[in-house]
Chain A
């Protein structure tokens, strides 16, 4: 409540970076992703694709049946929340304004600058090209995860979709790779929030000062 009051008083020199819908779907997505990933690792362990298993303590569900219950319950939350977020991003023009234009050269330059510690974060309402690329990749990973997940869940009823992923076994592989890529992007995302802590409260309050 105190933040609301502060925001109201200083409304003139604050700008809205993340609208309420983006903030709510962001945090619902965090919850849904935690449930999906940790239960998914337990499901993976029942029949690993590669020569490793995830540590049992990092999984959710206790056993395969429990993990499947979590996964197939949380999938509705993840997919519906994602649908709301993507529909809003497209309809409101937020994706177009915030994530584009996006050129490979700009991404390359910004990633290079970031590694030299020279990337500016003065205005958190404007994403640099590296951020744009990362957020587009996260959204694409999410979409691929949902569709490859559907292809694994329903390889008969949705067999045309499953065929797009190279069949049932192909869909399993795609599902795993998209998860791994998403986890990598999430790790970078969390590291960047730690490096630029000002960005964290904005995902709660939505607002930041006009300029610093």
Chain B
């Protein structure tokens, strides 16, 4: 009813003034809509129901990425001349807080759905068949860098310890209190390496001594460093960043 009344009175005006009023109304509406969108951007994200939708979409994206993951598809490999030097340091803490792990007393602890869960010393791990890769590390922040990592194919290691390869997850606990977990399909990928060397040198502390799981098919934060313990499970283990909102699968 109101609208019709307004249209009626507007009709009495000349065309240019109608346009002017329309323009003013439109400007005001446009501005308030824009202000609403901008002002509430932060509150919108914190809203409980919005959070529910965003987390549900992230779980959906886990499934979409698992479906898209081709266990045969290899990440591009690069010549050694393409290696980024110096390779960037990255962690949830500063470089001055890098954890030192004692090589002599180190034991890799195994648990969960593993047949032979005896702990492994470093010389035992170094004696496993070694392979190298020069691949691109892509950070969740957007930057990327090419590095060279060497170690044992993770599939070979999982088979050696009698891990249940039909289980859903492999979880990792690290010396820097970092933790993460991956899907079994990625764990068995031919380029997923349990690495002990970076650029042909024993992994320096800042790159994750004594070992880093290297997966060129996942974002950087999914590649745990300073691994102290690993376990095979069917219960979703989450992760340090994943529990805060980074997508769990985070495949490349």
Contact = CB atoms under 8 A, between A and B. Distances in A.
Nearest to B191: A156
Given A197-B19, A197-B26, A68 B247 contact: yes
A154 B251 contact: yes
B4 interface: yes
Interface stretch (A42-50, A80-88, A102-110, A134-142): A42-50
Majority SS at the chain A contact face: helix
Contact of B41 (A59, A69, A156): A59
Interface stretch (B65-73, B121-129, B149-157, B163-171): B65-73
A153 to B, nearest CB: 8
A46 B241 CA distance: 15
B58 A72 contact: yes
A148 to B, nearest CB: 13
Contacts, number: 102
Interface string B43-68: 01110000001110110010000001
Interface residues of A, number: 39
A47 B139 contact: yes
Contacts of A68: 140, 245-247
Top 3 closest pairs, chain A to chain B, by CB = A65-B245, A73-B57, A47-B142
Interface of A: 2-3, 6, 34, 38, 43-44, 46-47, 57-66, 68-70, 72-73, 76, 154-157, 159, 168-169, 172, 190, 193-194, 197-198, 200
Given A73-B61, A76-B57, A156-B76, 19 more contacts: A46-B140, A47-B141, A57-B38, A59-B41, A60-B41, A62-B45, A65-B241, A66-B245, A72-B61, A154-B68, A154-B252, A155-B252, A156-B75, A156-B216, A156-B251, A157-B68, A157-B251, A159-B75, A197-B26
23 contacts: A65-B241, A65-B245, A66-B45, A69-B55, A69-B57, A70-B45, A70-B54, A72-B61, A72-B247, A154-B251, A154-B252, A155-B136, A155-B138, A155-B252, A157-B70, A157-B252, A159-B75, A168-B136, A172-B142, A193-B26, A194-B23, A194-B27, A197-B19
Interface of B: 1, 3-4, 7, 19, 22-23, 26-27, 30, 37-38, 41-42, 44-46, 53-55, 57-58, 61, 68-70, 73-76, 136, 138-144, 216-217, 241, 244-247, 251-252
